[in-house]
């Protein structure tokens, strides 16, 4: 059987591809499980600095969940499906390595929710993004009702979820749902360009920065700033801090050891 999740290394950047192009890269339970295994392995791989997540082909990033597989599910089955997917999506969000979503087509339902878990979202100009679950008589269940309002605000998230309508890449950029929009043929090159730029930084500093962003933004401002101060202090105990400061003073490029 063809692998549903592919991992390709480009130096210290891992490109993870959802590989179900005939099904518009829709994610069934097996694919979600395979994605979780891939991300868990890459999270502890010393040769990986940054992860890019994308979909096979040009039509879809991930066009949603496997709707046919939902036909026989009752309430408890639906809840279990949501919890299983959420556990994997949480792995993506909390992965200590920066994760870039390269949205190369439809990112609908679970696909939009998967992109929301990533740290940075880049989109092809032809991409369409949405949470159309209400059209099936259900709601987003893989984190969409929680992450989307936190990213774009309650009003815009409510509009997307209540209407179930897709938005264009340009609109998504305007509301902060994606960081940048590129011509379709440029997307992966731009994603790799950004990944390489990030990979040059200290992994220790990247890891601590991500912890501060992901965990701190769920706290009130005072607690978040205190948490940031703790991590800031922790970064001062690293060899990378000494190297970074020395390189700056000596006007040279730092050679981080990630310790």
Specify the number of domains making up the chain: 2
Clarify whether residues 192 and 207 are in a common domain: no
User: Which two structure tokens, joined as six digits, stand for 45?
Assistant: 């791989």
Residue 127 domain-assigned?
Answer: yes
Active-site positions? 113, 133
Q: What is the DSSP letter of 58?
A: S
User: Which two structure tokens, joined as six digits, stand for 110?
Assistant: 């679970």
- pTM of the prediction? 0.95
Clarify whether residues 10 and 111 are in a common domain: yes
Residue 238 is part of which domain span? 203-249
Query: How far are the Cα atoms of 104, 158, 211, 230 from residue 130, in angstroms, in the given order?
Result: 14, 11, 27, 37
176-221 pLDDT tens trace: 999 999 999 999 999 999 999 999 999 999 999 999 999 998 899 9
Q: What is the pLDDT confidence band of residue 231, given thresholds at 50, 70 and 90?
A: very high
Confidence at residue 174, expressed as pLDDT on a 0 to 100 scale: 98
CATH code for position 209: 1.10.12.10
Clarify whether residues 223 and 121 are in a common domain: no
Clarify whether residues 43 and 134 are in a common domain: yes
Cα separation of 40 and 8, whole Å? Answer: 15
Residue 257 domain-assigned?
Answer: no
50-54, 75-79, 110-114: least confidently modelled range:
75-79
Clarify whether residues 172 and 207 are in a common domain: no
Confidence at residue 73, expressed as pLDDT on a 0 to 100 scale: 83
Q: Is the pLDDT of residue 1 over 60?
A: no
Confidence at residue 258, expressed as pLDDT on a 0 to 100 scale: 74
Residue 256 domain-assigned?
Answer: no
Residue 158 domain-assigned?
Answer: yes
């Amino acid at each position: 059987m063809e692998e549903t999740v592919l991992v390709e290394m480009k130096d210290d950047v891992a490109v993870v591809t959802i590989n179900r192009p005939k099904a518009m890269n829709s994610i069934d339970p097996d694919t979600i499980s395979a994605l979780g295994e891939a991300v868990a392995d890459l999270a502890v791989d010393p040769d990986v600095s940054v992860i890019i997540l994308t979909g096979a082909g040009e039509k879809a990033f991930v066009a949603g969940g496997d709707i046919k597989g939902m036909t026989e599910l009752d309430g408890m089955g639906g809840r279990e499906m949501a919890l299983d997917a959420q556990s994997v999506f949480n792995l993506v969000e909390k992965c200590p390595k920066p994760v870039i979503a390269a949205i190369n087509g439809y990112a609908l339902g679970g696909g939009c929710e998967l992109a929301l878990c990533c740290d940075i979202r880049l989109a092809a100009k032809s991409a369409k993004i949405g949470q159309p679950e209400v059209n099936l008589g259900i709601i987003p269940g893989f984190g969409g009702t929680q992450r989307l309002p936190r990213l774009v605000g309650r009003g815009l998230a409510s509009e997307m979820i209540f209407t179930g309508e897709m938005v264009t890449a340009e609109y998504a950029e305007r509301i902060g749902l994606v960081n940048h929009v590129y011509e379709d043929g440029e997307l992966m090159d731009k994603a790799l360009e950004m990944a390489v730029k990030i990979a040059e930084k200290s992994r220790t500093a990247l890891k601590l920065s991500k912890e501060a962003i992901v965990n701190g933004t769920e706290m009130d401002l005072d607690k978040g700033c205190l948490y940031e101060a703790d991590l800031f202090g922790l970064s001062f105990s690293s060899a990378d801090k000494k190297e970074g400061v020395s390189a700056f003073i000596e006007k040279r490029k730092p050679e981080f050891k990630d310790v």
